[in-house]
């Protein structure tokens, strides 16, 4: 997470599945607690540096919190094999998209022009100009991230970051900070809901979350010394290999 700005639930859930032989439903709440802690630290740093759009983050998080319990509820009722296959499908999508994105950066290929974003930053006041299309776009993005967060424990950063890039004209640093703000709230809410419902293994989750926070801080230091696009490609290849392993495991369990 510290090296690439991603990978919280994308890698933590498969790690818990393979290393501790947990089901996706058991691993997801543990992953959410780790994401909440790490993303919370990142969001606080963004707030300190005045790049976190806290109103947009709060608005998206409201709808994420509404859908996250539904995802958690479904995860407890869907067999593990279909969840593994669904998770591997998302991993395939994320890894391919990240690899191609990094490849274009290395080659210096400009991004395709798109329609004007509905959420534009008013530079005179330093805030987003809110309107109905903007609210709809952020609401849908937050709800989707929240549902997948609860269902698979993936956090939802792979949904939020592209959505903020598409629907706003915020800087890259502001997009990451705002995404972390949403992740901290939604993942934290999901972890609390799991703890209340008795599906959070706290004796596994607590040291795992502390380890994730330590890894985040170390990764931030190392990441500044490594080429971003190349590192992103390595992460994408690793995620692709994990996806293959998950789909094999899910196929064998059917």
- Check: CB of residue 239 under 8 Å from CB of residue 6: no
Q: Which of 18, 35, 24, 147 shows the shortest CA–CA distance to 77?
A: 24
Q: What is the pLDDT along the chain (254 residues), one digit of tens a residue?
A: 766 666 567 788 888 998 888 998 899 899 999 989 888 888 898 899 888 999 999 999 999 999 999 998 998 889 998 999 999 998 899 889 889 988 888 888 776 766 778 898 887 777 888 999 999 999 999 999 999 988 988 877 888 888 898 899 888 788 888 988 998 999 999 899 999 988 889 999 999 989 888 887 887 777 666 656 777 788 888 889 988 998 998 888 77
Q: Tell me the CA distances in angstroms from 142 to 32, 57, 82, 171, 202, one per residue in order.
A: 16, 9, 24, 19, 26
pTM of the model: 0.84
């Amino acid at each position: 997470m510290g090296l690439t700005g991603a990978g919280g639930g994308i890698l933590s859930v498969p790690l818990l599945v393979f290393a501790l032989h947990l089901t996706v439903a058991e691993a997801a709440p543990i992953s959410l607690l780790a994401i909440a802690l790490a993303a919370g630290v990142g969001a606080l740093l963004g707030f300190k540096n005045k790049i976190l759009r806290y109103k947009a983050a709060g608005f998206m998080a409201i709808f994420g919190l509404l859908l996250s319990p539904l995802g958690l509820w479904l995860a407890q009722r869907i067999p593990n094999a279909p969840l593994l296959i669904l998770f591997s499908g998302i991993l395939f999508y994320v890894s391919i998209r990240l690899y191609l994105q990094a490849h274009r950066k290395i080659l210096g290929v400009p991004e395709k022009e798109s329609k004007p974003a509905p959420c534009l930053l008013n530079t005179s006041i330093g805030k987003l100009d809110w309107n109905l299309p903007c609210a709809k776009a952020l609401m849908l993005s937050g709800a989707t991230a929240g549902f997948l967060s609860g269902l698979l424990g993936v956090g939802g950063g792979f949904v939020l970051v592209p959505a903020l890039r598409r629907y706003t004209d915020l800087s890259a640093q502001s997009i990451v900070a705002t995404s972390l703000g949403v992740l901290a709230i939604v993942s934290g809410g999901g972890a609390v809901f799991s703890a209340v419902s008795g599906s959070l293994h706290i004796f596994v989750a607590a040291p795992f979350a502390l380890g994730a926070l330590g890894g985040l801080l170390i990764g931030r230091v190392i990441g500044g010394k490594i080429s971003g696009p190349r590192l992103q490609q390595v992460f994408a290849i690793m995620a692709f290999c994990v996806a293959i392993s998950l789909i094999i495991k899910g196929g064998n369990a059917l």
